[in-house]
Structure 1
Amino acid sequence: MKRLITILSILPMLAHAGVRHYAASVEQSDWQLDAPNRLQCELSHPVPGYGTARFYSRASKQLNMEFELDMLMLPDVYAMAAVYSVPPRWMPGAMQRTIAEMPLRRQYTGDLPKVPAWTMLSELEKGFWPTVQYQDWYNPYDKIAVGLNAANFTPAYQDFVECVANLLPYSFEDIQYSVLTYQKNTAELTKEAQKKMQMIGMYLKEDPQLELMLVDGYTDSYGGSGTNFNLSVQRAESVKQYFIDMGVDAARIEVTGHGERRHIAPNDNEMTRAKNRRVVVKMSRG
């Protein structure tokens, strides 16, 4: 009887013997909002001996969120990891819940899209530990369990949510090719073009990685060709000066005037001529 009791008592230990756990202790648990700006918000959590868990959202027309598990030892196989919401010890009776399956790709960090990423954040806010579990690709007898400790999460998470709410509602891809239209016979932008310029300016304030900006000015065919050429240059130069005032290095801006060449619409009525009165701004990043 005593031998049976002894065997039964060690069964739970045997059941967990093949799982290697990685998680920060309560004292180690650290959540940080890393270099917040209006282009990207990142919330990070180091996991000792394993790597770093990251949640991030970027400036875009659509609300977005991603989770990334940055591993010190990247996967060596293609596999799937299970992601659970695990109750801490101080929640007796609370049930473990399945959040998602996370693909593991060879030599890449693990990641999850918006819905499971937000779910993990909401579970952390409630005190649960999102935990990623998968078969070790080096040891067939072991599984790996990576837990995100909810201790000290709330203050950093509140800052993260505020950062996400303040992201620009557009990305670099939305402005990297922009067409600015003008009033007839002037270097005055239309109201729509003024708004576009403001969008570009707000983005450039946040992004120091601009490598090159090409500014090309065009006119319609109304008036003399020499006058139109000078007007196209004047329009392009005024755009260049605007961006210089926003902090862009003048050496990175190239201006070209094309006059009434390269029309994109007929010039036989006012509505179509208006499309030809334009400055095209093309940007590239380093």
Structure 2
Amino acid sequence: MRQRYLLLFSLLACVPAQAITFQTRLEQAEWKVEGDQFECRLSQAITDFGVGEFVRRAGEQAIFRLQARERWLGAGSATLLAAAAPWQPGRGDINLGMVNVAAGEVPFNSTQLQAGRLLAGLLDGRSPLVRHRTLQGGETLEVRLLPVRFAKAYNDYMGCTAKLLPVNFDQVRQVQLGFPSGGTDLDDRARARLEIILQYMRADPSVNRIELDGHSDNSGSRLTNRDLSRRRALAVQGYFEASGVPAERIVVRFHGEQYPLVTNSNAANRAKNRRVTVRLSRVPEPEPAGAESTAEPASAPAAAGPASS
């Protein structure tokens, strides 16, 4: 009898734990498209779990992520699969590698390559599937999206991405404009970068402050280098103002050779140091004179120092 119990116990120990699966019922699964010129999202609600979504920001490729209402996924790693749909049992899954899982409402973001392969898999009838260990007991947890009614939503999503700006704020908040020839005139490349910055600013009026810092290499005297850096910064300022940016929103500083990006040890490095740094920011607009406010007055900003040489 004891041997029979031991045999039964060993057999049960070999049976894998059943996975906890989150998946919307087939007839209720829907894809939703939202977005604007800054970001596009292609998502599917997952019953009792949250949302699985593809997110593409302006200037970037899409990533895939989950939004979880509860903390189902513990810290660690999960496997990302382009899985065969539940009604395709004979079809193999495609392992797309691991993702790092952390605490929070969005436990992970996939790589752009993984997201691209998931989208291709959906077009081929495959399901995005995340496989992970749960916090309690170490059971396997699976989160699955379904490929039903995907083609129409994907077309709408592609229409949204076609209207995205060429860059996002993180890509234009600090830009280096080079003056490789050593002069003070803007070349075609600098103008093209300025046009991209202006395109973003027109789309996002909350970006209302521009700081320009002019620089030089160490080829000339300090006074000459300071003047070159000043004229370079003024050239960029003039371009912004000619494009409609109010002068009061632009701060100009010039530093000569004082802050090189790299050592001025050769011609290539000196070319890198001849530049204007453009920084964009969002500064709260002052309230109109006489307007009542319940907020405490903000502390005065630090006064800008004199231009460096």
Q: Which residue of 2 aligns with 1:44?
A: 43
> Normalising by structure 1, what TM-score?
0.66
CA RMSD of aligned residues (A): 4.6
Deviation at 1:280, TM superposition (A): 3.6
- For these two proteins, the number of residue pairs brought into alignment is 260
**Are positions 1:214 and 2:211 aligned together?**
yes
In 1, Cα distance between the equivalents of 2:80 and 2:230? 58
**Are positions 1:54 and 2:50 aligned together?**
no
Q: Which residue of 2 aligns with 1:121?
A: 119
Contact 2:174 2:277 (C-alpha < 8 Å) held by counterparts? no
**Are positions 1:109 and 2:122 aligned together?**
no
The structure 1 residue matched to 2:85, chosen from 66, 83, 87, is 87
Q: Which residue of 2 aligns with 1:136?
A: 134
Contact 1:182 1:188 (C-alpha < 8 Å) held by counterparts? no
1:220-258: CA deviation from partner (whole Å, max 9, x where unpaired) = 999xx89x96x9777645644644676767654312366
**Are positions 1:66 and 2:74 aligned together?**
no
Following superposition, which runs of at least 4 residues in structure 1 exceed 6 angstroms of deviation?
182-185, 218-222, 231-235, 272-277
In 2, Cα distance between the equivalents of 1:244 and 1:106? 46
Q: Which residue of 1 aligns with 2:8?
A: none
Mapping for residues 4-19 of structure 1, pairs under 5 Å: 18-19=18-19
Does the residue aligned with 2:198 lie in a helix, a strand or coil? Answer: helix
In 1, Cα distance between the equivalents of 2:158 and 2:23? 24
Contact 1:103 1:110 (C-alpha < 8 Å) held by counterparts? yes
**Are positions 1:192 and 2:189 aligned together?**
yes
The residue type equivalent to 2:22 in the other structure is: Y
Contact 1:205 1:247 (C-alpha < 8 Å) held by counterparts? no
Change (3 A) 1:122 1:182: closer
Q: Which residue of 2 aligns with 1:34?
A: 34
In 1, Cα distance between the equivalents of 2:238 and 2:250? 10
Contact 2:78 2:99 (C-alpha < 8 Å) held by counterparts? yes
Deviation at 1:59, TM superposition (A): 4.2
Identity of aligned residues (%): 26
Change (3 A) 1:115 1:256: closer
Q: Which residue of 1 aligns with 2:177?
A: 179
> Normalising by structure 2, what TM-score?
0.62
